[in-house]
Amino acid sequence: MIVAQQKPLQEIADMVSDCKKVLLVGCAGCVTVCLSGGEKETEVMSSALRIKRRLEENPLTTVTFTATRQCDPEYIAEMDEMVKDVDAIISLACGVGVQYVAERYSDKWVVPALNTNFIGGSTVHGIWEEKCGLCGDCVLHKTGGICPIIRCSKSILNGPCGGSQYGKCEISKDTDCAWALIYERMKTLGKLNKLMEIQPPKDWSTSRDGGPRRATREDVIIG
């Protein structure tokens, strides 16, 4: 899932300081799972902003709505009526959702309430870690299911490097060396010989280096 975290409340309040009525839009997708922009978080932020503005003697009226997903136009369309009389829309989605909302309501001031951090998952409740580097050409079959692109600080394909010490990365004692993990995993699988194959330089054109990407599946395109 996409992992995002809320911006400081003051930053969000500043973005809508000149507004009298705002719509806060949550997303029931990834940001609900990572507890930053679901229905509950949307209502908590709404309440906090209302209280803050009352104390500033500049009351704010809020409306809340949680879309099934903000990254699909049909779910955003459900709030067409709600946006009509608001001065701004605060989106508690990832950067994708914010852009879909801004695109649909081009005459509205749309602001992000979250910082979109990474693609990852939870390790325990309340802690999320980055797991995928979105390189567009997966190599997990070569590395025992551990991503060297994002979990190795240098994204090297023939690790480990000299900064690997006792299974930890030199950047932090709390960061596992991905290549130490890969080695142990491949050893367990009895496939250490596969690590002897030298990986050539990666073609990064499938990653961000190739510019904005698009995925197409002709067989499901309607119309």
Partner 1 sequence: MQYAPNIRIVEMTCTGNTDHRVLLQAFEEGADGVYVAGCMEGDCHFLKGNIRARKRVNAVKKLLDEIGVGGDRLEMFNLSSAQGGRFAQIANEMTERIKSLGPSPLNKSGAKKKEGDA
Among residues 46, 66, 70, 164, the one that binds partner 1 under rule CB under 8 A: 46
Choosing from 61, 122, 153, 207, the residue that interacts with partner 1 (CB under 8 A) is 61
Strand partners, 97: none
How far apart CA 125 and CA 122 sit, in angstroms, is 6
Give the residue, chosen from 48, 77, 134, 192, that forms a contact with partner 1 under the rule CB under 8 A. Answer: 48
Q: Is 134 left (phi over 0), alpha (psi -120 to 50) or beta?
A: left
Q: Of 11, 17, 44, 134, which one interacts with partner 1 (CB under 8 A)?
A: 44
Q: Decide: is 59 part of the binding site for partner 1 (CB under 8 A).
A: yes
Instruction: Considering the complex, state which of residue 127 and residue 215 has its C-beta at the smaller distance from partner 1.
Output: 127
Rounded Cα–Cα distance for residues 187 and 183 (Å): 6
Find the binder of partner 1 among 11, 17, 18, 40 (CB under 8 A). Answer: 40
With 0-12 / 13-18 / 19 or more C-beta atoms within 10 angstroms meaning exposed / middle / buried, residue 120 is middle
First to last CA, the chain: 30
Distance of CA 59 to the CA centre of its chain: 32
Q: Which of 1, 28, 63, 119 binds partner 1 (CB under 8 A)?
A: 63
Pick 48 or 189: Cβ nearer partner 1: 48
Check binding of 104 to partner 1 (CB under 8 A): no
28 makes contact with partner 1 (CB under 8 A): no
Alpha helices in 67-214 (DSSP H): 73-76, 80-83, 95-104, 148-151, 178-189
Chain residues in the site for partner 1 (CB under 8 A): 9-10, 21, 40, 43-44, 46-48, 50-52, 54-55, 57, 59, 61-63
